Amino acid sequence: MARSEYGAGVADYVVTPSDGQWGVGVGAVVTFWDRQVDGNRYTDLLNAGGGPITSVTADEHGSLPRFFGPDGVTGMWADAGGGARAWMDAHSLTFGAPGEEEPIAVASVNGITPDVTGNVALASDNVGAVPSASLGVANGVATLGGDGILTPGQRPTYTAAQVGALATTARGAANGVAALGADGKVPAAQVSDDRLVVGETGRRYRIISGTIRNSGSGWGLISDSSHRSSGISAVNALSDRIELQHPIGAIRVSSLQATPDETFAARGLRVGASVGLDTSTLFLYDESPDFITDRVYYDGPSSSWKSERGVFSGFAFSGGVLTLTHADMGTTTQSSASLAGRGGLGAFVGALTATTTQVVFYSGSFGSLTAVTSPATTMNVYVTRYGKRAVPAATPSSIVSSTGNIWITGLAEI
């Protein structure tokens, strides 16, 4: 059996306490055990010369001399009588005490038994290695270059289908993918979006359409089973106009029309549009541009002139002539006026300018007419002035109808 060698090492010393200090244990007798506490004592020991001993005695320096433990034991608990044992590992494994060494036959290595000469021949498979002959050959292993990367001849090649991709030949082909033009957009020939209209070669247009209405809670898009907008994202009613938001990425405006339906057309409503790439503005006009009319009279209690609906804004009476101020009706060559008396006096049309109309009051009958030069409550007349005036835009919130719509249709290049 093989014995393990102990002692004569840098840590193989016995120390003892003395007056609070530690010193070497000169001549200390050390016994050996198989347990830290109690257990069985080892007595089958051999000294360095191979003689049997049951314990080991420290030399004059407290060092334990070289000795051999029992067969097959590679570690023991050492007891120097101090009340606690210390673990002691073997330094080496020998083939027996000096003079008793015996060769140990190797039974196998990795499951391979020695040949008749006692040698064990191991192949790459026996040690979990790859044979050098397998480098860079079929069913072998790849060879790395000096840069740690596969050599070009051993790099794999894959088809688009093998990596879950489409081949480049699928671009712009049936059942493939769309190709982008030089502008980074899909060519018109490959677009099937029903919101797009194809015009000239290479030009695409997007439809802007919708129906707006103000039933009393403000202007907005109609979206129901019979109406659907396209391209319009929001409708904002301001004090004098309606804004349409249509962020479709337009680069040029082609056209946009806003048309009153039959309800608004019967009321004489007109719509004018100012069109932009992302926002368009609608102006509503609910007054006739061809004439203005209102009843004008002298109010006795307030001693002032009145325009019943406020159409006429200024009044100047002098020498029997009343000069009315009003909106610009265009040039005088395109203007005229008519009067319909409602008091006891007659009235003639006087001079006209773009912004004024004169009324002359008289009494009597034809052939003996006399101008009335002082204001009187009998001065009461309907005044209609004709021309070509610039009508101010109406306030959108004042145009209300539960059935009236404005239809919007436009095209913008994208």
Q: How confident is the model at residue 223 (pLDDT cuts 50, 70, 90)?
A: very high
* pLDDT above 80 for 66: yes
Residues 283 and 312 in one domain: no
Mean pLDDT of the 61-75 span? 92
Burial label for 241, CB within 10 Å (0-12, 13-18, 19+), is middle
Residues 283 and 295 in one domain: no
Most trustworthy range by pLDDT among 183-187, 266-270, 324-328, 333-337 = 324-328
- Phi and psi at residue 283, in whole multiples of 5°? -110, 130
Residues 214 and 354 in one domain: no
Q: How many CB atoms lie within 10 A of CB 352?
A: 19
Mean pLDDT of the 212-235 span? 94
What pLDDT is attached to residue 95?
Answer: 46
* pLDDT above 90 for 213: yes
Q: Which of 70, 93, 116 is the last residue of a domain?
A: 93
What pLDDT is attached to residue 267?
Answer: 83
Q: Is 46 part of any domain? A: yes
Q: Tell which residue, 322, 371, 315, 367, has the closest CA to residue 346.
A: 371
DSSP structure class, residue 133: G
Q: Is 258 part of any domain? A: yes
CA distances from 296 to 100, 156, 293, 302, 309 (A): 148, 99, 9, 14, 9
Of the listed ranges 19-28, 41-50, 52-61, 64-73, the one predicted with least confidence: 19-28
Q: Is 191 part of any domain? A: no
Query: Would you list the DSSP string of 300-327?
Result: TTTTEEEETTS---EEEEETTEEEEE-S
Q: How many CB atoms lie within 10 A of CB 389?
A: 21
* pLDDT above 80 for 393: yes
* pLDDT above 60 for 98: no
Residues 227 and 366 in one domain: no
Residues 315 and 267 in one domain: no
Q: Is 43 part of any domain? A: yes
Residues 311 and 380 in one domain: yes
Q: Is 131 part of any domain? A: no
* pLDDT above 50 for 139: yes
Q: Is 214 part of any domain? A: yes
Average pLDDT, the chain: 86
Q: Which of 59, 93, 127 is the last residue of a domain?
A: 93
Residues 266 and 408 in one domain: yes
Q: Which of 93, 124, 159 is the last residue of a domain?
A: 93
> Which position has the higher pLDDT, 104 or 213?
213
* pLDDT above 70 for 192: no
Q: Is 399 part of any domain? A: no
What pLDDT is attached to residue 343?
Answer: 83
Residues 89 and 40 in one domain: yes
Q: What proportion of the chain, given as a percentage, has pLDDT over 90?
A: 51
Domain that holds residue 75: 3-93
* pLDDT above 90 for 185: no
Mean pLDDT of the 176-194 span? 73
Burial label for 333, CB within 10 Å (0-12, 13-18, 19+), is exposed
pLDDT in tens, 249-279: 999 998 999 999 999 988 888 999 999 999 9
What pLDDT is attached to residue 187?
Answer: 74
Residues 282 and 305 in one domain: no
Mean pLDDT of the 339-352 span? 90
Most trustworthy range by pLDDT among 21-25, 142-146, 198-202, 233-237 = 233-237
Predicted structure pTM score: 0.42
Residues 253 and 305 in one domain: no
What pLDDT is attached to residue 100?
Answer: 53
Residues 8 and 86 in one domain: yes
pLDDT in tens, 347-383: 999 999 999 999 999 998 777 888 899 999 999 999 9
Q: Is 259 part of any domain? A: yes
Contacts of 184 (CB under 8 A, 6+ apart): none
Residues 353 and 216 in one domain: no
Number of separate domains in the chain: 3
